[in-house]
């Protein structure tokens, strides 16, 4: 692409991005549509069986109204399922998880403020907290960069590597360090403490949190001792690694 004009390069990048979006959408459709249809069919079968058994005792539309209310409250992170003595959806650990997801820009989406005052405070809190988090990330990056650069510089001198190969080697080493320390190791801990999750699900949660995607479809339950706030404390520290990695590539 070096011989293309700037506008041509931008056009190629835009077309490539659109092709990547389309390809990803087709792959997700092929993988996810069949299980989604199976779940839909199972739900319809359950509703039909319930209505056949109890339909005479229910007024018309009562079940649909109840399900609509339950789904609407569930979308705001409020659930009435389970034991009524369980902790609230907005207990202190859950509120800490919510604030950590805001400051790390993960935004799982499983909780949202219900009151107007809560939404207003969320806006002010994010407006003030995000710049403070970025300042923390910048400070951590300046502290971590010299430490993380020393092993790579020693290897480059000892092996007499070119600057390009030294930068590539250091980027690979940092990538493996990040993957093992903030994805694999936390996933193993979550998998060991939560018997209701698989190792793949724990890795999926750690990766989606680390990349700040935060789909919110997998979250650690409240019934175990380890709360995901612990993970977010490390995640905020890890976000400072983005600048060192960039510096390695540019160096």
Which residues are CB-neighbours of 218 under 8 A, at least 6 positions away? 197, 201, 204, 205, 208
Q: What confidence score (pLDDT) does residue 127 get?
A: 92
Structure tokens at 40: 């839909």
User: In angstroms, rounded to a whole number, what is the distance separating the alpha carbons of residues 226 and 206?
Assistant: 14
Residues 126-143: tens digit of each pLDDT: 999 889 888 887 887 777
Q: What confidence score (pLDDT) does residue 121 get?
A: 92
Category of 57 on φ-ψ map: left (φ > 0), alpha (ψ -120 to 50) or beta: alpha
DSSP 8-class letter at 91 = S
Q: Write out residues in the chain with pLDDT < 50, as ranges.
A: 84-85, 223-226, 237-251
Give the gyration radius of the chain's Cα atoms.
24
Q: Per CATH, which fold does 91-241 belong to?
A: Helix Hairpins (1.10.287)
Q: What confidence score (pLDDT) does residue 3 get?
A: 66
Q: What confidence score (pLDDT) does residue 59 get?
A: 79
Q: What confidence score (pLDDT) does residue 250 get?
A: 34
- The pTM score is 0.62
User: In angstroms, rounded to a whole number, what is the distance separating the alpha carbons of residues 188 and 200?
Assistant: 10
Q: What confidence score (pLDDT) does residue 183 get?
A: 85
Q: What confidence score (pLDDT) does residue 245 get?
A: 34
Helices assigned H by DSSP within 161-227: 163-179, 185-193, 199-210
Q: What confidence score (pLDDT) does residue 96 get?
A: 80
Q: What confidence score (pLDDT) does residue 67 get?
A: 79
In the chain, where the domains are located: 91-241
């Amino acid at each position: 692409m070096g011989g293309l004009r700037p506008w041509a390069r931008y056009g190629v990048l835009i077309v490539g991005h659109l092709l990547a979006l389309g390809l990803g959408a087709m792959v997700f459709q092929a993988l996810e549509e069949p299980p989604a249809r199976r779940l839909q069919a199972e739900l319809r079968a359950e509703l039909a069986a319930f209505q056949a058994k109890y339909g005479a005792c229910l007024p018309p539309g009562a079940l649909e109204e109840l399900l609509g209310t339950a789904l609407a409250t569930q979308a705001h992170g409020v659930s009435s399922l389970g034991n009524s003595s369980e902790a609230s959806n907005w207990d202190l650990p859950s509120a800490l998880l919510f604030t950590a997801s805001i400051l790390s820009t993960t935004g799982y989406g499983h909780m949202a403020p219900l009151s107007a005052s809560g939404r207003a405070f969320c806006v002010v809190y994010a407006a003030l907290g995000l710049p403070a988090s970025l300042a923390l990330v910048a400070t951590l990056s300046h502290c971590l960069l010299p430490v993380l650069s020393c092993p790579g510089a020693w290897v480059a001198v000892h092996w007499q590597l070119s600057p390009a190969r030294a930068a590539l080697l250091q980027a690979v080493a940092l990538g493996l360090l990040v993957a093992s320390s903030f994805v694999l190791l936390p996933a193993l801990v979550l998998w060991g403490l939560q018997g209701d999750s698989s190792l793949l699900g724990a890795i999926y949660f750690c990766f989606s949190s680390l990349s700040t995607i935060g789909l919110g479809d997998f979250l650690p339950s409240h019934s175990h001792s380890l709360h995901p706030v612990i993970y977010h404390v490390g995640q905020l520290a890890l976000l400072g690694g983005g600048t060192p990695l960039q510096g390695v590539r540019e160096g």
